[in-house]
Amino acid sequence: MLENKISDIRFDEDNYIQNMNFKNEVLTDVNISKIEFESVQFVKCQFINCNFSKASFYHVIFESCLFSSCIFIESSWKKSNILECKGDGSNFTQSYFKEAVFANSSFCYVNCANSIWDGCTISDSNFKEASLSEVKFQKLKLKAVNLQGVDFFKTPLKGIDLSDCTINGIMASDTCSELKGAKINAIQAVEIVQILGVKII
């Protein structure tokens, strides 16, 4: 159903899908780039090697979905929810997230370099070894997020509360200036000191 719908709007040069629900769809090697989704719900769908570049998502819900080797370069997400999804290794470079919610999801090794996150919430999710370099965060809320080994190079974390997150092995510049103004707990402070090369005796 979904793949046919995409083919139809490509033919009509409409590129707009609105007020629809999709469940148990499996799409492989499908070009979904530049399509605008509004008030659409995806449940238990699988997207394998699909291209979502420059796609837009407004009030969209992805629930229990799988993204395998998918590309979301320059995609736009506004007031959309990603719930219990798995998108390990996906590419979200130069994407824009506005009031988006990620919950109970796995996005290990994801590439979000040069992206913008405004008023977003990430909770109970795994972003292990993700690339979040040169990212702009505004009013980001994090709860129980695994950020182990994440690359924060040139990403200011001022004002962001990391105290409930796992931050072992995070990467930053030599001076760790990215962490200036971030909120951490006492145990995390020991990890940060080690990143700075200070030895605790």
Q: What is the pLDDT along the chain (201 residues), one digit of tens a residue?
A: 999 999 998 877 789 999 999 999 999 999 999 999 999 999 999 999 999 999 999 999 999 999 999 999 999 999 999 999 999 999 999 999 999 999 999 999 999 999 999 999 999 999 999 999 999 999 999 999 999 999 999 999 999 999 999 999 999 998 889 999 999 999 898 878 777 666 666
Contact 31, 11 (CB under 8 A): no
Segments making up each domain of the chain, as ranges: 2-195
Alpha carbons 141 and 43: distance in angstroms, whole number: 25
Non-local (6+) Cβ contacts of 16 within 8 A are: 9, 35, 36, 38
Fold classification of 2-195 is Pectate Lyase C-like (2.160.20)
Task: Measure the CA–CA gap between 48 and 17, rounded to whole angstroms.
Answer: 20
CA distance 53 to 152: 23
pLDDT at 80: 99
Query: pTM of the prediction?
Result: 0.93
DSSP state of 192: H
Cα radius of gyration rounded to whole Å, the chain: 18
Gap between the Cα atoms of 77 and 100, Å rounded: 7
Residues with Cβ < 8 Å from 44, sequence gap 6 or more? 23, 24, 63, 64, 65
Q: Which SS3 state, helix, strand or coil, does residue 136 take? A: strand
